[in-house]
């Protein structure tokens, strides 16, 4: 094993300091193999190179190492946090990795503008003109769904595990506290209450049916409820109801009675009987069949908001490597479940605020908790054998983890069967079905406008959305799908073909990242396949890779035929064929990806506010007049030349230029 590595690498290992740090291993192509942490860098890294690991997984990984990078840190806690930051960023092959590109949604309450005054009566509003001092949207907090970076001046509640959970919370704010959800532009132009007021989901601050002071109190109660002070809010509403009743103000008392009833109904439905647990994350892990699932349930303000499953990759590789690594270090390897759970906690809370309490199905190390506490400034505790309400939450999470993992294994088994069926039907011979790679192309445009080509990738038995690509097609006759297909294939495979030819001439492996797919699907029949064949002949690539998906009679799904570029006869796989189902799935995904990109590009060209200013003779003032007259760029695009010319400062000639630019 030592002889297989360069002298420079072994010298670098020998010169490492005996300090805590993080190390990264790279292969010949520059890909990251493994990221690890160590209390003693010299001792831990040297253990990989000091003996022959044989045919084990750690031996297989070590044989690929050609380069190493290390970072010295001050403590083991810093090493742990840096390790998981790098794992999440670099995606190494031999680490447990949780992929979650989705940000969490929040419920947002906007802060009222400074100096907000009480709302005027609705009589002060004229239907066509704004009245000074009339209710302004920015003076009244708005409840909305939000996803993204938070601003300090507004209030954010969450995160929530799903968009559905946020929308349920917004509906609750409407039912109980009657808070507004409309945009400021709508609010500022209302002359009478909307339907939400009629169905008692809003107090209509837009037309002065509630004062700013009373509305602010409702907002404050809603915020306290979301923080978990439900019973306190209930008692306050009941006290105010009784006070109004004693003062013979029965209408106000009835309104508060309705609020109390709505709040009581919500509390009963959600079974909030343990409000001492304000913010808790419940984590349950299930491992089976070489796959794992971590189910995260969120409790915020004492309310169970729902859960979300996470499925890590590289579990087998990482667990095997960790076991041998710990044996070398004289340590006992933790169970697979503990390793998966600790990897999730360390990676997940890099970007997400960690609550003070975690309830876990497996014990996690105190070192990890101390590191999280040090990074966040919040003392984090974990409990893995809870009682009472926490035990109920954990059992729910464990049940859901098992169900989600069973669903995943069933889906993967079905998808693998489809991959195998397609490989058999087309006589494909990949090194393994896991490595079978298919790329599919489609062209989309509207009467030649905003032509885009899409390329989607199927690999590892599933669609790889991170590898999708769109290509803006230019320099062709509008509507020429064949020319568009030629252009996208040349751009996709031109450099790769050159690299392969250069490597073949030199006898060395290609250095360009990526490889030719095992199959290239094009959405179309003989015409598109003929164009693809010409491109591949020009580039010197294998024609047998190209397969066209030709629509059947009446363009009915299930009647598609496969057209081959190498001269083979067309093939009909059969309506119930698993192979055809996979081809249709990939083809439909390419079509979806192409058409969504085309529509976005078309909307940008037609409706972009900046498009007006790109027209000669249109400056900020004329642009503002046009937008004010027609209510936006869409309205300008729908207007006739005569309508545009009627705007102050727009001549007939300029109106014709604007019309042509937007059409």
CATH topology of domain 608-662: DNA polymerase; domain 1 (1.10.150)
pLDDT tens, 221-248? Answer: 888 888 877 667 777 777 778 877 777 8
- HSE-CB at 193 with a 13 A cutoff on CA atoms is 17
Q: If residue 450 lies in a helix (H) or strand (E), which one and from where to where?
A: strand 449-459
Calpha distance 280→283 (Å, rounded): 10
Computed over every residue of the chain, the mean pLDDT equals 81
CB neighbourhood size of 148 (10 A)? 9
Give residue 191's pLDDT.
Answer: 85
How many Å separate Cα 73 from the centre of its chain? 32
The predicted model gives 549-574 an average pLDDT of 82
Judge whether 77 and 134 are in contact, CB under 8 Å. no
The predicted model gives 573-594 an average pLDDT of 88
Calpha distance 298→307 (Å, rounded): 6
Calpha distance 361→397 (Å, rounded): 9
Q: Which CATH number fits domain 446-507+521-598: 3.30.70.2190, 3.40.50.620, 3.30.420.340, 3.40.720.10?
A: 3.30.420.340
Omega prior to 592 cis, within 30 of 0: no
Beta strands in 138-290 (DSSP E): 143-146, 155-157, 280-288
**pLDDT above 80: residue 545:** yes
Same topology between domain 2-76 and domain 280-406: no
Helix axes of 57-64 and 315-328: crossing angle, nearest 10 degrees: 90
CATH number of 280-406: 3.30.420
Token couple for 205: 């601050």
Give residue 3's pLDDT.
Answer: 53
Helix axes of 388-425 and 578-607: crossing angle, nearest 10 degrees: 110
Judge whether 635 and 647 are in contact, CB under 8 Å. no
Calpha distance 344→211 (Å, rounded): 48
Calpha distance 61→92 (Å, rounded): 11
Judge whether 646 and 638 are in contact, CB under 8 Å. no
From 509, 475, 505, select the one nearest 491 (Cα to Cα): 475
pLDDT tens, 100-145? Answer: 656 788 889 988 876 555 444 443 333 333 344 556 767 889 999 9
How far are the Cα atoms of 62, 110, 177 from residue 153, in angstroms, in the given order? 51, 8, 22
**Would you say the pTM of this structure is higher than 0.85?**
no
For the chain, the straight-line distance linking the first and the last C-alpha, in angstroms and rounded, comes to: 68
The predicted model gives 599-612 an average pLDDT of 58
The predicted model gives 95-101 an average pLDDT of 77
Higher pLDDT, 277 or 186: 186
CATH number of 2-76: 3.40.1440.10
Give residue 273's pLDDT.
Answer: 43
Calpha distance 100→343 (Å, rounded): 13
Bridge partners, 282 (sequence order): 297, 359
How would residue 283 be classed by pLDDT, with cut points 50, 70 and 90?
Answer: very high
Indicate the domain borders of the chain: 2-76, 106-125+135-270, 280-406, 446-507+521-598, 608-662
Lowest mean pLDDT among 218-232, 287-301, 317-331, 534-548: 317-331
Token couple for 146: 């939000």
């Amino acid at each position: 094993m030592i002889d297989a590595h360069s002298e420079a690498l072994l010298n670098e290992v020998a010169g490492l300091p005996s300090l805590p740090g993080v190390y990264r291993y790279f292969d010949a192509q520059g890909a990251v193999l493994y990221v690890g942490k160590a209390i003693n860098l010299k001792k831990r890294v040297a253990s990989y190179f000091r003996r022959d690991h044989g045919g084990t997984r750690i031996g297989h990984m070590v044989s690929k190492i050609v380069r190493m990078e290390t970072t010295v840190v001050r403590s083991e806690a810093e090493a742990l946090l840096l390790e998981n930051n790098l794992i999440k960023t670099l995606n190494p092959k031999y680490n447990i990795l949780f992929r979650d590109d989705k940000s969490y949604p929040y419920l947002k309450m906007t802060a009222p503008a400074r100096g907000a005054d009480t709302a005027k009566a609705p009589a002060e509003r004229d239907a066509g003109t704004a009245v000074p001092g009339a209710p302004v949207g920015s003076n009244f907090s708005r409840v909305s769904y939000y996803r993204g970076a938070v601003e300090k001046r507004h209030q954010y509640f969450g995160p929530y595990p799903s968009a559905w959970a946020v929308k349920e919370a917004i509906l609750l704010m409407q039912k109980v506290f009657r808070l507004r959800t409309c945009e400021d532009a709508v609010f500022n132009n209302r002359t009478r209450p909307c339907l939400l007021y009629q169905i008692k989901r809003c107090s209509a601050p837009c037309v002065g049916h509630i004062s700013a002071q009373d509305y602010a109190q409702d907002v404050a109660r809603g915020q306290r409820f979301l923080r978990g002070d439900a019973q306190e809010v209930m008692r306050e509403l009941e006290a105010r109801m009784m006070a109004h009743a004693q003062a013979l103000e029965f209408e106000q008392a009835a309104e508060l009675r309705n609020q109390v009833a709505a709040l009581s109904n919500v509390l009963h439905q959600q079974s909030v009987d343990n409000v001492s647990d304000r913010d808790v994350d419940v984590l349950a892990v299930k491992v089976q069949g070489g796959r794992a699932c971590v189910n995260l349930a969120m409790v915020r303000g004492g309310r169970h908001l729902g859960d979300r499953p996470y499925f890590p990759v590289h579990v087998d590789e990482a667990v095997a490597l960790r076991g041998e690594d710990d044996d070398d270090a004289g340590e006992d390897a933790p169970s697979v479940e503990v390793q998966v759970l600790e990897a999730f906690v360390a990676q997940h809370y890099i970007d997400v605020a960690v609550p003070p309490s975690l309830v876990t199905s497996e014990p996690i190390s105190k070192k990890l908790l101390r590191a999280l506490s040090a990074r966040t400034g919040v003392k984090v505790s974990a409990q893995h054998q809870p009682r009472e309400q926490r035990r109920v939450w954990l059992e729910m999470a464990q049940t859901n983890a098992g169900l989600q993992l069973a669903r995943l294994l069933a889906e993967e088994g079905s998808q693998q069967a489809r991959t195998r069926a397609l490989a058999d039907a087309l006589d494909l011979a990949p090194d393994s079905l896991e490595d079978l790679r298919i790329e599919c192309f489609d062209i989309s445009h509207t009467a030649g406008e905003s032509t885009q080509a899409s390329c989607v990738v199927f690999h590892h038995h599933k669609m790889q959305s991170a590898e999708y690509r769109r290509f803006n097609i230019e320099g062709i006759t509008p509507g020429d799908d064949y020319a568009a297909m030629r252009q996208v294939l040349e751009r996709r495979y031109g450099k790769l073909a050159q690299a392969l030819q250069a490597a073949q001439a030199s006898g060395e492996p290609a250095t360009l990242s990526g490889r030719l797919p095992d199959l290239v699907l094009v959405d179309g029949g003989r015409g598109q396949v003929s164009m693809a064949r010409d491109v591949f002949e020009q580039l010197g690539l294998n024609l047998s890779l190209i397969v066209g998906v030709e629509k059947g009679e009446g363009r009915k799904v299930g009647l598609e035929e496969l057209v081959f570029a190498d001269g083979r006869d067309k093939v009909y796989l059969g309506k119930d064929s698993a192979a055809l189902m996979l081809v249709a799935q990939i083809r439909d995904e390419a079509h979806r990806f192409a058409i969504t990109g085309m529509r976005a590009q078309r909307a940008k060209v037609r409706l972009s506010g900046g498009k007006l200013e790109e027209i000669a003779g249109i400056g900020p003032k004329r642009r503002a007049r046009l937008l004010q007259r027609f209510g936006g760029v869409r309205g300008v695009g729908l207007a006739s030349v005569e309508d545009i010319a009627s705007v102050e400062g727009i001549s007939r000639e300029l109106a014709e230029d604007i019309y042509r630019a937007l059409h």
